[in-house]
Amino acid sequence: MNIRGKIILVVLPLIVTPLLFAGLIATLLARNGITGVATQFLQFKAEQIETYSNGQWDLLVQNGLEQTPEFLDAAEEAIATFASSVVRSETEVIFGVRADDSFAFRTQSPSIESDEGIAGEEPGILTAAGELLATARNRLAGTGGAAALASESLGSAPELGWTRIAVDGEPRVGFAVAFAPLGWTIYVTELEAAFYASTFSIINQVGIVLAASVVISLVLLILFSGYLTRPLRGVVEAMAGIIETNDLSQRVDVLYKDETGRLAHTFNLMTEQLDGAYEHIKSYAMRAESLRIKEQKTRTMFQKYVPTDVIEEFFSNPERMLVGDNRVVSILFSDIRDFTTISEMMQPDVLVQTLNKYFTVMVDTIMDHNGIVDKYIGDAIMALFGTPKKREDDAEQSAHAALDMVDALKDFNIWQEKQGIPAFRIGVGLNYGVVTVGNIGTEKKLDYTVIGDMVNVASRLEGLTKRYRTSVVVSDSVHRKLEKDRESGKIFARLLDTVQVKGRSTGLKVYGIARGIDSSEQELWDYHNRGMDRFYERDFAEARRLFLAAGSIREGDVPSHLLVERCDALMSAPPGPAWDGIVAMTEK
């Protein structure tokens, strides 16, 4: 809503509300005044009929005829005639009711329905008259003015004075008086619509005046609000024009010497200053855009060599580029088996094409699991999970990446065979631990990488895949991180050995992991794991039996075969108390 509409919305109620109150008060005062006069008029008629009736009765009493039926009938007929003579409109009805609930007389032949005798403005409500009028319809009989009343009787004596009743199904108001000598209640009634006709006319006229006042006020408000908001509209139009055309030379007219005029003057000053600064802004913008283009080119070029997160860190904190940081990451090493032999059989261009396609498949798989490729070492890949951005599931993601690499190799080898190239076999080693992460080198040549013992161990684990003839070998730290996946059956693992890799003085448990193995393979791994438990408990005979059972499920299972040979050696030459089952690896 614009400010013009808001002005109208605020001011119009301030005008209309007093008018409504004034009209309401005037209507109520007029209604009360007219109603009072009309009520007194009906009361006057009722009292005249009462006075006339008492006069008729006094004549009977003075002549001793009050017990003579003929004269009583004559007196009643005279009262009815007098009542008819005071009727001044077609809507007026006067009638009398006897104590036995029958009609004494009526100026018309009414069919009377009940009303609850609700009090009007005047006191003295005829509560019992409502019951009488409700039952009178079915109790009228005969002609000549008197009719028997059927159904319920009045009960207690009716109240007198102002009352509301229904006659012929129409609401009426009236005044009731008692004629005690004959036990009558006389009602002088008027149709309610006719009784309040003048009041309704006043209400309609007041409504018309109010409606006309509102319309006139609204028109004047629209005109005056437009006059008041004209300078503001000029400012808005000028601002819209500036936004559309970028032309800061536009100015607005100063129309009034008030706040709106000062606003227009201030707006002109502001645009003048902005116009002067616009050239400086354009100059800065051009320089900034030039720098942005250069930066984007730098990013695009270095993304081929350095992970995107590293580039972002460089641009946000260039002063930290030579600062190292200790982090817990998962390190992945993968290598192609017998690649030297395969490469000797291939032309250089075919070799490069094949390696590029292989690296594309492997790198896409690594990046799908939030890993980054640290470097290529010939045909080997070194990847990191947990740097530059650390996640809670880095170890789990690295394990799934390794298994996905093995699965992706199957599709790659199909392509290889179509090209007449021998299939590739890979081994993947995974380790999880603390390393030093940073840009290693000098200001002239940097390499974003990780260094530390955990990196060396990951490399040695990749080498162990050759010894145990398994695709993926992980350290105990990775194995612990895979507990939930192992419990849910997403990943299966078996303890291969406890080894002391070259370059370390302590032993390390190493595991083979796989995914989606069949029931016979699961049984093999179960036998193997149970055999390892017995092996480290020095029950070499039972361990040998379990390893043989594992080997019988699948011929050529190298880990079980190696453990059978070791059990044979230990049973022939039992180890001493210091034996811990660690096997020292002399090769990388």
Residues 350 and 297 placed together within one structural domain of the fold? no
Q: Examine the pLDDT at 311 and tell me if it is beyond 90.
A: no
Cα–Cα distance, 46 to 50 (Å, whole number): 6
What pLDDT is stored for residue 150 in this prediction?
28
Cα–Cα distance, 67 to 470 (Å, whole number): 137
Residues 511 and 567 placed together within one structural domain of the fold? no
What pLDDT is stored for residue 473 in this prediction?
97
Residues 295 and 328 placed together within one structural domain of the fold? no
Average pLDDT over residues 532-543: 95
Is 176 part of any domain? yes
What Å distances lie between residue 385 and 121, 167, 428, 454, 511, CA to CA? 92, 97, 14, 13, 19
Burial class, 448, CB count within 10 angstroms (exposed 0-12 / middle 13-18 / buried 19+): buried
Greater model confidence, 319 or 488: 488
Contact 366, 405 (CB under 8 A): yes
What pLDDT is stored for residue 121 in this prediction?
34
Q: Please say which residue of 165, 200, 235 terminates a domain.
A: 200
Cα–Cα distance, 223 to 458 (Å, whole number): 84
Q: Examine the pLDDT at 10 and tell me if it is beyond 80.
A: no
Average pLDDT over residues 211-232: 74
What pLDDT is stored for residue 260 in this prediction?
65
pLDDT category at 401 given cuts 50, 70, 90 is very high
What pLDDT is stored for residue 229 in this prediction?
67
Q: Examine the pLDDT at 127 and tell me if it is beyond 50.
A: no
What pLDDT is stored for residue 252 in this prediction?
67
Long-range contacts of 367-373 (CB under 8 A, 24+ apart): 368/401, 368/404, 369/397, 369/398, 369/400, 369/401, 369/404, 370/394, 370/397, 371/332, 371/397, 371/398, 371/401, 372/307, 372/309, 372/310, 373/307
pLDDT category at 20 given cuts 50, 70, 90 is confident
Quickly count: other Cβ atoms within 10 Å of residue 275's Cβ: 14
Q: Examine the pLDDT at 144 and tell me if it is beyond 50.
A: no
Is 138 part of any domain? yes
Q: Examine the pLDDT at 208 and tell me if it is beyond 80.
A: yes
Lowest-pLDDT choice from 60-69, 130-139, 171-180, 183-192:
130-139
Q: What is the pLDDT of residues 432-447, one digit of tens each?
A: 999 998 878 777 777 7
What pLDDT is stored for residue 279 in this prediction?
67
Q: What is the CATH number of the domain that holds 12?
A: 3.30.450.20
Q: Examine the pLDDT at 116 and tell me if it is beyond 80.
A: no
- What average pLDDT does the structure give for the chain? 79
Q: What is the pLDDT of residues 445-459, one digit of tens each?
A: 777 789 999 999 999
- Max Cα–Cα distance, the chain, nearest Å: 161
What pLDDT is stored for residue 471 in this prediction?
95
Is 150 part of any domain? yes
Is 232 part of any domain? no
Residues 17 and 164 placed together within one structural domain of the fold? yes
What Å distances lie between residue 312 and 9, 194, 296, CA to CA? 54, 91, 11
What pLDDT is stored for residue 269 in this prediction?
73
- Total domain count for the chain? 4
Lowest-pLDDT choice from 25-29, 41-45, 115-119, 499-503:
115-119
Residues 252 and 290 placed together within one structural domain of the fold? yes
Cα–Cα distance, 517 to 494 (Å, whole number): 12
Two tokens at 458? 């990951």
Q: What is the pLDDT of residues 327-364, one digit of tens each?
A: 999 999 999 999 988 888 888 888 999 999 999 999 99
Is 206 part of any domain? no
What pLDDT is stored for residue 110 in this prediction?
42
Residues 260 and 400 placed together within one structural domain of the fold? no
What pLDDT is stored for residue 508 in this prediction?
93
Is 492 part of any domain? yes
Is 319 part of any domain? no
Residues 405 and 474 placed together within one structural domain of the fold? yes
Cα–Cα distance, 423 to 412 (Å, whole number): 8
Q: Please say which residue of 178, 200, 222 terminates a domain.
A: 200
What pLDDT is stored for residue 119 in this prediction?
33
What pLDDT is stored for residue 512 in this prediction?
96
Residues 194 and 103 placed together within one structural domain of the fold? yes
What pLDDT is stored for residue 113 in this prediction?
41
What pLDDT is stored for residue 109 in this prediction?
45
Residues 139 and 252 placed together within one structural domain of the fold? no
Residues 297 and 187 placed together within one structural domain of the fold? no
Range of the domain at 257: 246-302
Residues 39 and 72 placed together within one structural domain of the fold? yes
Is 315 part of any domain? no
At 333, is the secondary structure helix, strand, or coil? strand
Greater model confidence, 252 or 567: 567
pLDDT category at 13 given cuts 50, 70, 90 is confident
Q: Examine the pLDDT at 523 and tell me if it is beyond 90.
A: yes
Residues 251 and 338 placed together within one structural domain of the fold? no
Q: What are phi and psi of 318, to 5 degrees?
A: -65, -25
- For residue 230, which of 212, 251, 252, 209 has the smallest C-alpha distance? 252
Q: What is the CATH number of the domain that holds 399?
A: 3.30.70.1230
